[in-house]
Amino acid sequence: MTIDFRAEVDKRKDDLMEDLFGLLRINSERDDSKVDEQHPFGPGPVKALEHFLALAKRDGYKTRNIDNYAGDFEFGQGDEVLGIFAHLDVVPAGSGWDTDPYEPVIKDGKLYARGSSDDKGPTMACYYALKIIKELNLPVSKRVRFIVGTDEESGWDDMAYYFAHNGLKDPDFGFSPDAEFPIINGEKGNITAYLHFEGQNDGAFSLVSFNGGLRENMVPESASAGFTGPITLQELEAKLANFAADQGVTGQVTEEAGAFHVTIHGKSVHGMMPQKGINGATYLALFLSQFDFQGNAQAYLNVIAETLHKDFFGEKVGLAYTDPKMGELTMNAGVFHFNKESEDNTIALNFRYPQGVDVDGIKAGLEKLEGPKEVTLSEHGHVPHYVPVSDPMVQTLLSVYEKHTGLKGEEQIIGGGTFGRLLKRGVAYGAMFPGYVNTMHQADEFTEVEDLYRAAAIYAEAIYELIK
């Protein structure tokens, strides 16, 4: 049986885009201030989950909502189960958008919206791929379980809860449409370390507050500080203008009630590749380090400006390491909180590490730094993950990719973490193509509309080849 999967996608292009627009209009950022028993990560992720499951129910699937943490539905029959893992939550939109991040718009063939590429766009492409197989009534010998989570961008508590409470045996193999083609069959480990500082400080200059970053897995797009000191607003403005011009950043300073407030803007990117962003927080600390801060403020700023600034690979902290297969360790200084009245001020460092590195070694290395009173590690983390390229599932996925693109399918290992690593035989597969512009976790996130249709055709044939 020969099926033109791309032609089948084209028949459904308008429907796919209509369903995707509805999902993109939902602000599904995690909001801990609104967490309750019915909303484990806030109202937005739940709303997105309910919306997606309603689409699946409309299309004839028997859906399950696992206590608003995650949802699933199954298709097909057979003992073996192919798992497809996607997520409906998004990172905060942040600032700097030319469009409304939650009002999707297509311009010059690009679909702009938060979640368009990570991961609502790929999720919908994969959903329509399975929809094609179902509507064509193609014969299958395995089951597909389509699983959507709501906390992938934070702690993965959605999947921890799902695996503990869904009541079914785990899928035998699977993939996540949350990365890039041709395949991601290896992922680095992922852990966040927290440097803890006290707040009280005295000196000619006194640091009142320092805040930057929205998520540990994002390079801070901007950061702001409040402080007092023997300097005029005009002098500060001149110093900031010179600093901004020299460093290639932007910023502003204001004065209110005897205190100065400085903000510096950089550029946010995904925390797995911090070297491609401009960390507004480390630049802010570098600017402030010229002033006479003392005590805890000086310790806090010195660690950032002298050690963390532009140290993307852990070199200054003695943690640099490169594995021949998985590549180098990366370090993203992601979230900063300092308040003069607090006894626990923090810097969150997100590490993506290859095989050959262990988290205890990361903690021990950071404990050698001067300044922090304590170093702790996040409760959640992931060890390095790898599925051999010889695995039959990997070979099938690469073969379908090659057929549709004419490009060579090769294994890839990334610093990002996807739901593909939830299974021993799990990988990430699409939906971004080689040469794409990566705007995940950035302002003006977009995906190429044509790429979504191409991906849907690849997903349809790949799923069918795996379960027929």
Same domain, 404 and 418: yes
Same domain for 400 and 372? no
For every one of its 468 residues, what pLDDT tens digit does the chain have, with 9 covering 90 and above?
689 999 999 999 999 999 999 999 999 999 999 999 999 999 999 999 999 999 999 999 999 999 999 999 999 999 999 999 999 999 999 999 999 999 999 999 999 999 999 999 999 999 999 999 999 999 999 999 999 999 999 889 999 999 999 999 999 999 999 999 999 999 999 999 999 999 999 889 999 999 999 999 899 999 999 999 999 999 999 999 999 999 999 999 999 999 999 999 999 999 999 999 999 999 999 999 999 999 999 999 999 999 999 999 999 999 999 999 999 999 999 999 999 999 999 999 999 999 999 999 999 999 999 999 999 999 888 999 999 999 999 999 999 999 999 999 999 999 888 999 999 999 999 999 999 998 998 999 999 999 999 999 999 999 999 999
- Do residues 195 and 308 both lie within one domain? yes
Provide the number of structural domains found in the chain. 2
Both 123 and 66 in one domain: the answer is yes
Count CB atoms within 10 A of the CB of residue 148: 28
User: How far is the CA of 241 from the CAs of 221, 231, 251, 434, 453, in angstroms?
Assistant: 19, 15, 8, 39, 46
Length of the chain: 468
Are 363 and 217 members of one domain? yes
Judgement on whether residues 181 and 200 belong to the same structural domain of the protein: no
Q: Token pair of 221, please?
A: 């797009």
Active site residues: 89, 152
For residues 36-65, one letter each, b for 16 or more C-beta atoms within 10 angstroms of the residue's C-beta and e for the rest, the string is eeebbbbbbbbbbbebbbebbeebebebbe
Which residues are CB-neighbours of 463 under 8 A, at least 6 positions away? Answer: 82, 84, 129, 130, 133, 144
**What is the Cα 302 distance to its own chain's centre?**
28
CATH assignment of the domain containing 81: 3.40.630.10
> pLDDT value at position 155?
84
Give the pLDDT confidence score for residue 253 in this predicted structure.
98
Radius of gyration of the chain (CA): 24
What is this structure's pTM?
0.83
pLDDT at 379: 87
> For residue 91, which of 147, 151, 149 has the smallest C-alpha distance?
151
How far is C-alpha 212 from the geometric centre of its chain's CA atoms?
17
DSSP H or E run through 112? strand 110-112
Contact call for residues 203 and 298 (beta carbons, < 8 A): yes
What gap in Å lies between CA 80 and CA 209, rounded to an integer? 55
Residues 89 and 215 in one domain: no
Among residues 200, 441, 194, 175, which one has the least CA distance to residue 341?
A: 200
Phi then psi dihedrals of residue 439, to 5 deg: -115, 15
Tell me which residue of 435, 439, 455 sits closest to 115, measured CA to CA.
Answer: 439
Q: Which domain does 200 fall in, by range? A: 190-377
Regarding beta strands 70-76 and 322-323, do their DSSP bridges make them parallel or antiparallel, or are they unpaired?
unpaired
Q: Are 418 and 371 within one domain?
A: no
Residue 262 Cα distances to 210, 225, 287, angstroms: 9, 5, 10
Using left for φ > 0, alpha for ψ between -120 and 50, and beta otherwise, residue 68 falls in left
Say what the pLDDT of residue 181 is. 97
Residue with tokens 């009245």: 341
158 plus 175 within the same structural domain: yes
CATH number at residue 209: 3.30.70.360
* Cβ-based neighbour number of residue 334 at 10 Å: 23
SS3 376: strand
* Whether residues 237 and 366 fall in one domain: yes
Residues 126 and 196 in one domain: no
How many other C-beta atoms are found inside a 10 Å radius of the C-beta of residue 393?
22
Using the 3D structure, point to which of 327, 349, 377 is the last residue of a domain: 377
DSSP string, 351-383: EEE-TT--HHHHHHHHTTSSS-SEEEE-S--B-
Which of 338, 359, 377 lies at the terminal end of a domain, its last residue?
A: 377
Same domain? 20 vs 126? yes
Residue carrying structure tokens 């919908």: 124
Domain termination site, one of 348, 377, 406? 377
